[in-house]
Amino acid sequence: MIERAPVYWYDDIDSTSEEAKRRARRGELSPVWIAARSQSAGKGRLGRVWESPVGNLFSTLLFPEPGGLAMAARIPFAAALAVRDACTRAVPSLEAALKWPNDVRVRGCKLCGILTESGETNGTVWIALGIGINVQTAPEGTGQETSSLIKEGAPAGLTPEMVLEDLRAALSRRIEQARQDFEALLADWMRYAEGVGQVVQAGPLQNRIEGVFESLAPDGGLNLRLPDGALHTIRAGDVELVKRVS
């Protein structure tokens, strides 16, 4: 089971997610954590580069999913909550917000990246859940503001290994919640949601729609209230707050 999944640490690797997928394609589908102290080809969502300085956490959980591909859409919400759970253990006063679909941010600064990938090998559906957390360093040159747990007040001796231990326990709980009671999981997610009641632009980069972030749909889609009063649900892409110039 996920809570007993072993951890394999690498001093350096191309990408923990790529290693997890290599294992999955070979049919090695028992739950396992792949973690690295450094990555040479880390990646985020939508093909973005994930900066990987030593001192931060780079990890991927590979596991078979009995619920099939339909469950994959639930996993990012579980992961974001688990990251928040783990980070607030390191910094109890941390006011981390969740940005749809799966960013964890502090005062608008990115603290974590989550990448959910899935596939099927020999009839078994698997998920490779990549999670990167800025523990010691807030990377620069990423195109957006970033922060780290140390910057937010964590003890100077906090290590990626320590954060991963908390993350393992939290993620096991949250994935089980996603499987058993997704409605309650989404309610928990909304407690920390960024931008609720505010005007946002959401959807694929080339086809953003503007409206007020009102709620989440039962499947986790983003419900926008459009200017004409209609309710529109976004199920792919990103969301950004609209900053009005006065």
Q: Report the length, in residues, of the chain.
A: 246
Architecture of domain 2-191: 2-Layer Sandwich (3.30)
Q: Cα 167 from chain centroid? A: 12
For 199-244, how does the pLDDT look when each residue is reduced to its tens digit (9 = 90+)?
A: 998 888 778 889 999 999 999 999 999 999 999 999 987 888 776 5
- Is 7 a residue whose pLDDT tops 70? yes
Residue 46: band (very low, low, confident or very high) from pLDDT cuts 50, 70, 90: very low
CA distance 95 to 101: 18
* Residue 210 DSSP class: E
Q: From the CB of residue 145, how many other CB atoms can be counted at a distance below 10 Å? A: 13
The residue ranges of every structural domain in the chain are: 2-191, 199-241
Q: From the CB of residue 181, how many other CB atoms can be counted at a distance below 10 Å? A: 12
CA distance 119 to 106: 32
Q: Answer whether 138's CB lies under 8 Å from 148's CB.
A: yes
Domain 199-241 has CATH 3.40.1390.20: no
Mean pLDDT, residues 12-41 taken together: 93
pTM over 0.75: yes
